[in-house]
């Protein structure tokens, strides 16, 4: 093999974490060994009571290996190390604390101790077990501030102090104060509902799919949005990265979880991306839509690190990062993600890029700027190559147009993509996520569980 | 950074500004497929909009977006009434903030979808 060819990277941490029991008899035995059970509840906004997170998504992403090498709810020492150096106790880099938090009342009611096995139910059905290795208390507000950094301690990239307008900060601020730490094991794998079922490619399956398709090099496109033509061009052009030839595949990996009001519904997002390949704008042989369960923290450079981990675990060789990656508001520098992946952010524990530090990542960043419409070229053009005055387009601008009932011109949104938006608009009575959608979605979730 | 808000112009809106100086300010985007006006927003008004409407955001162009549809409708009404694109337009909209919020509360539950075939 030529030394110029890029091979599929190993999972982060060296091996894929897979903590899912498919054998019902083994699962039943494990379930019977639980001291007691606990019904997983959504995390509610600490002020408004609206759902902001469901820990079941973290359990799914951990047990299916998206977050390898993380295996469970983190111990106190691990959380502290992450907040200080963004590293697990095993040395591998990781951006966020992931914990199983409960209220003091629930802790007292459960009466569990270190060494106990706790059965976790979801929608009333057995779902997973948690082997408790440590129980400790946190201060959610302190955790929220430390997770995202601040302008004084992280001056390279943090521009504003975090507050309750930041949805990721709200997630940590809304955590319950007691943590049960230990490994999770799914003993009753949930079944995804349509349309999510056909987009479920956990890391092992994704790697097998790439192998089947002959995709040695794959570039990931992170999304939480319906694609406009700018996204389409970003995908097409970023895919020219590769080694001796362009990337064989483009993996669209949509983050499915609690959404912000004004975002598109998850159902519309995945089907709209699918429409891009279904109608040939990018041929399906080169384009695959998939999902990951995660309630976005919107941590810009930190989120990009998690994205790199997830997609490396899925087998991607490259990851495209745009301006304001996974960002909200003006808390971070607009190019904080690019700074992380090209120079590093010392105050977050990265004196060099995450690919150049010990126990770092293998996935290669492809830092992209913007695509916009050039009336002179009469096509979508790249900001760094087109020398004309261009017309910027943004998802927000499009949302405004959609809300006013104006069909976007096909040069900025493909008609088939718009039809998908309208299809789900008809279903939910609304084109975007509103409170009703979020509450219903968090009640119903994306999955169903059978009896064990 | 200069901020602005976009007012899209369909045929019925074009009728309402016909013959005014506003016509000189019409911009065409995306190969002439979109007609629009841009209303000027200063820093102070931008902050007020973001504080009053939690979905509002500033996009990469400096445009303020994701405000309720009721806000956008009133924005056009103010443009047509004042025959201006200056900050007084947004000031006029914000003077009706309670009324807009009442309408927005209803529209956050339901917006009629366009009548197009989707299957």
Which of A324, A397, A440 to mutate to probe the B interface, most B CBs <10 Å?
Answer: A397
In a domain, A450, yes or no: no
How many C-beta neighbours within 10 Å does residue A291 have? 25
Domain count within chain B: 1
- Cross-chain residue pair B65–A436, CB shorter than 8 Å: no
Point out the residue among B54, B72, B112 whose CB comes nearest to the CB of A400. B72
| Cross-chain Cβ contact A422/B33 below 8 Å | no
- Output the average pLDDT for chain A: 95
Over residues A397-451, the pLDDT tens digits come to: 888 888 887 888 888 899 999 999 999 999 999 999 988 898 899 999 999 999 9
- Number of domains forming the structure of chain A: 2
Residue B114 resides in a domain: no
* Chain B residues touching A413 at Cβ < 8 A: none
* Beta carbons of A249 and A219 less than 8 angstroms apart: yes
Distance CA B69, CA B39 (A): 16
Chain B residues close to A425, C-beta within 8 Å:
111, 113-114
Phi-psi region of A242 (alpha: psi -120 to 50; beta: other; left: phi over 0): left
Check CB contact under 8 Å for A419 and B118.
yes
CATH number, domain of A223, equals 3.40.50.620
Q: Identify each DSSP E strand in B1-119 by its residue range.
A: 3-8, 27-29, 34-41, 57-58, 64-65
Judge if A268 and A285 occupy the same domain: yes
**How does pLDDT run across A136-175, given as a tens digit for each residue?**
999 999 999 999 999 999 999 999 999 999 999 999 999 9
> Could you read off the pLDDT of A29-61 as tens digits, one per residue?
999 999 999 999 999 999 999 999 999 999 999
Phi then psi dihedrals of residue A160, to 5 deg: -135, 150
What b/e string do you get for A201-232 counting C-beta neighbours within 10 Å, with b at 16 or more? bbbbebbebbeeeebbbbbbbbbbbbbbbbbb
* Whether A411 and A352 share a structural domain: yes
Residue of B nearest to A395 (CA): B59
Best mutation target among B1, B55, B71 (most A Cβ atoms within 10 Å) is B55
Looking at the fold, whether A89 and A237 belong to one and the same domain comes out as: no
The enclosing domain of A109 has a CATH number of: 3.10.400.10
The verdict on a CB contact (< 8 Å) between A422 and B111 is: no
Distance between CA A373 and CA A379 in Å, rounded?
6
CB within 8 Å: A406 and B65 = no
Q: Which domain holds residue B45?
A: 3-107
For residue A261, give how far its alpha carbon lies from the nearest alpha carbon of chain B (Å): 6
């Amino acid at each position: 093999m030529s030394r110029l060819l890029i091979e599929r990277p190993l999972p982060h941490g060296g091996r894929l974490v897979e903590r899912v029991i498919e054998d019902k008899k083994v699962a039943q035995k494990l379930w019977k060994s639980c001291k007691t059970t606990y019904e997983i509840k959504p995390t509610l906004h600490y002020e408004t009571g609206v759902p902001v997170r469901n820990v079941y998504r973290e359990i799914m992403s951990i047990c299916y290996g998206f977050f390898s090498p993380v295996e469970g709810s983190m111990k106190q020492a691990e959380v502290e190390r992450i907040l200080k150096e963004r590293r697990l106790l095993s040395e591998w880099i990781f951006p966020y604390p992931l914990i199983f938090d409960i209220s003091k009342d629930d802790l007292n009611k459960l009466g569990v101790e270190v060494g106990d096995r706790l059965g976790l139910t979801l929608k009333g059905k057995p779902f997973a077990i948690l082997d408790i290795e440590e129980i400790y208390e946190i201060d959610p507000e302190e955790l929220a501030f430390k997770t995202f950094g601040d302008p004084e301690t992280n001056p390279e990239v943090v521009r504003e102090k975090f507050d309750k307008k930041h949805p990721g900060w709200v997630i940590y601020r809304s955590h319950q104060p007691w943590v049960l730490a230990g490994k999770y094991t799914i003993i009753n794998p949930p079944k995804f509902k349509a349309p999510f079922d056909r987009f479920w490619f956990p890391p092992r399956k994704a790697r097998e799919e790439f192998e089947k398709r002959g995709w040695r090099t794959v570039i990931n496109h992170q999304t939480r949005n319906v694609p406009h033509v700018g996204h389409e061009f970003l995908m097409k052009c970023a895919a020219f990265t590769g080694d001796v030839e362009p990337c064989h595949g483009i993996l669209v990996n949509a983050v499915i979880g609690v959404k912000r009001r004004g975002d598109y519904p998850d159902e519309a997002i995945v089907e709209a991306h699918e429409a891009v390949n279904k109608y040939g704008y990018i041929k399906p042989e080169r384009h695959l839509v998939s999902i990951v369960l995660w309630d976005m923290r919107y941590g810009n450079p930190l989120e990009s690190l998690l994205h790199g981990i997830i997609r490396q675990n899925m087998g991607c060789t490259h990851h495209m990062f745009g301006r304001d990656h996974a960002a909200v508001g003006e808390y971070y520098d607009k190019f904080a993600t690019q700074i992380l992946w090209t120079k590093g952010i010392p105050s977050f524990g990265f004196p060099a890029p995450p690919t150049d530090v010990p126990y770092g990542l293998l996935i290669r960043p492809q830092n992209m700027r913007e695509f916009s419409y050039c009336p002179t070229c009469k096509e979508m053009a790249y900001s760094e190559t087109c020398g004309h005055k261009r017309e910027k387009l943004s998802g927000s601008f499009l949302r405004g147009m959609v809300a006013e009932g104006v069909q976007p011109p096909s040069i900025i949104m493909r008609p088939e993509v718009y039809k998908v938006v309208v299809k789900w608009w008809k279903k939910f009575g609304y084109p975007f996520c509103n409170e009703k959608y979020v509450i219903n979605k968090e009640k119903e979730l994306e999955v169903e569980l059978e009896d064990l | 950074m200069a901020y602005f808000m976009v007012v899209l112009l369909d045929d019925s809106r074009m009728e309402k500004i016909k013959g005014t100086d506003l016509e000189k300010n019409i911009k065409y985007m995306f190969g002439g497929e979109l007609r629009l006006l841009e209303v000027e927003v200063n820093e102070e008004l931008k902050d007020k909009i973001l504080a009053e409407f939690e979905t509002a955001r500033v996009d990469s162009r400096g445009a303020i977006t994701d405000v309720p549809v009721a806000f956008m409708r009133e924005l056009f009404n103010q443009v047509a009434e004042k025959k201006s694109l200056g900050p007084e337009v947004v000031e006029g909209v914000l003077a009706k903030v309670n009324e807009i919020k009442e309408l927005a509360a209803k529209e956050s539950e339901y917006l009629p979808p366009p009548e197009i075939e989707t299957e």
